[in-house]
């Protein structure tokens, strides 16, 4: 059973999140807080596995929480909840240690997908967020590398392209006629061969290699 903490300054939002989380088998809400300043006590007292963290709060923001506590509690998976879809917010959160970024207006099933990803030590980005990261990478990259690493097979290159477009593991598997386990194996091999650790890094790599385009 995965232990989940909810940190959001809106009581009704927390109530909705609590109902959605507890509706998913394998998860239980063990603590709630209305501001980032409460996170330290929640981490030490309740020891959650996953923290759903609002990015905008009055006293201590979600970004401040990540900068303060991510390194000290590396085993905790932080999932940012936000209305902000711009690249600067997303990249700031990822660089500070967030393992996922979920838009508050996302469909309810996206929360389940995000929780599943974090539970398997994977990252999760709302589909629209992945596009924002791609756009930012294109602007920031001084030049594209020109060709994909020869370490990747054609199949792995194809899977990398689909991951970078925001496709879920299940969607990739269905589209390519593979099992979910096979796609997971390919993704692990891609990360190992490219020496990358998470999905945002794969997206940035794919953009710089010219594998994805913002208009795709």
Tens digit of pLDDT for each residue in 10-35? 999 999 999 999 888 999 999 999 99
pLDDT-derived band at 202, boundaries 50, 70, 90 = confident
- C-beta separation of 197 from 151 below 8 A: no
Looking at the structure, tell me whether residues 111 and 151 fall in a common domain. no
Distance between CA atoms of 164 and 199, rounded to whole angstroms? 8
Between 214 and 172, the higher pLDDT residue: 172
| Edge-to-edge order in the sheet of strand 77-82 | 27-33, 2-7, 50-54, 77-82, 100-103, 124-125
- C-beta separation of 33 from 5 below 8 A: yes
Looking at the structure, tell me whether residues 149 and 57 fall in a common domain. no
Domain CATH number, residue 161: 1.10.10.10
User: How many CB atoms within 10 Å of residue 144?
Assistant: 12
Please say which residue of 125, 160, 185 terminates a domain. Answer: 125
- pLDDT given at position 18: 94
- Bridge partners of 3, per DSSP, are 28
Between the ranges 106-115, 119-128, 204-213, where is the mean pLDDT highest?
106-115
- pLDDT given at position 213: 54
- pLDDT given at position 46: 96
Looking at the structure, tell me whether residues 9 and 114 fall in a common domain. yes
- Phi-psi group of 119: left, alpha or beta (phi > 0 → left; psi -120 to 50 → alpha; rest → beta): alpha
Asked if residue 73 is part of any domain, the answer here is: yes
Between 161 and 53, the higher pLDDT residue: 53
Contacting residues for 195 by C-beta, under 8 A, at least 6 apart: none
- What is the count of structural domains for the chain? 2
Looking at the structure, tell me whether residues 11 and 73 fall in a common domain. yes
CA nearest to 126, candidates 158, 168, 92: 168
Domain residues for the domain of 160 are 134-208
Question: DSSP per residue over 119-187, as a string?
Answer: HTT--EE-HHHHHHHHHHHHHH-SS--SS--TTS-HHHHHHHHHHHTT--HHHHHHHHT--HHHHHHHH
Looking at the structure, tell me whether residues 34 and 87 fall in a common domain. yes
CA nearest to 63, candidates 90, 93, 28: 93
Looking at the structure, tell me whether residues 120 and 145 fall in a common domain. no
Q: What is the mean pLDDT of residues 47-54?
A: 95
- pLDDT given at position 176: 94
Question: Which percentage of the chain shows pLDDT scores above 70?
Answer: 85
- pLDDT given at position 212: 62
- pLDDT given at position 149: 56
Tens digit of pLDDT for each residue in 51-84? 999 988 888 888 999 999 988 898 999 999 988 8
Query: pTM value?
Result: 0.67
Question: Which percentage of the chain shows pLDDT scores above 90?
Answer: 38
């Amino acid at each position: 059973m995965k232990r989940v903490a909810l940190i959001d300054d809106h009581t009704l939002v927390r109530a909705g999140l609590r109902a959605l989380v507890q509706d998913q088998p394998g998860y239980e809400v063990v603590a709630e807080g209305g501001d980032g300043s409460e996170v330290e006590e929640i981490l030490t007292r309740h020891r959650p596995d996953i923290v759903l963290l609002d990015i905008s709060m009055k006293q201590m923001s979600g970004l401040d929480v990540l900068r303060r506590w991510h390194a000290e509690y590396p085993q905790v998976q932080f999932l940012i909840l936000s209305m902000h879809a711009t690249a600067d917010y997303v990249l700031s959160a990822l660089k500070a240690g967030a393992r996922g970024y979920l838009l508050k207006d996302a469909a309810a099933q996206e929360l389940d997908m995000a929780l599943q990803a974090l539970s398997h030590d994977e990252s999760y980005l709302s589909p629209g967020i992945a596009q924002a990261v791609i756009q930012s990478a294109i602007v920031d990259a001084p030049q594209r590398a020109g060709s994909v690493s020869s370490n990747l097979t054609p199949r792995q290159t194809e899977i990398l392209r689909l991951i970078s477009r925001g496709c879920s593991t299940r969607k990739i598997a269905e589209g390519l006629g593979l099992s979910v386990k096979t796609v997971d194996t390919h993704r692990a091999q891609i990360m190992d061969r490219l020496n990358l650790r998470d999905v945002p890094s794969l997206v940035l790599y794919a953009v710089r290699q010219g594998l994805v385009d913002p208009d795709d």
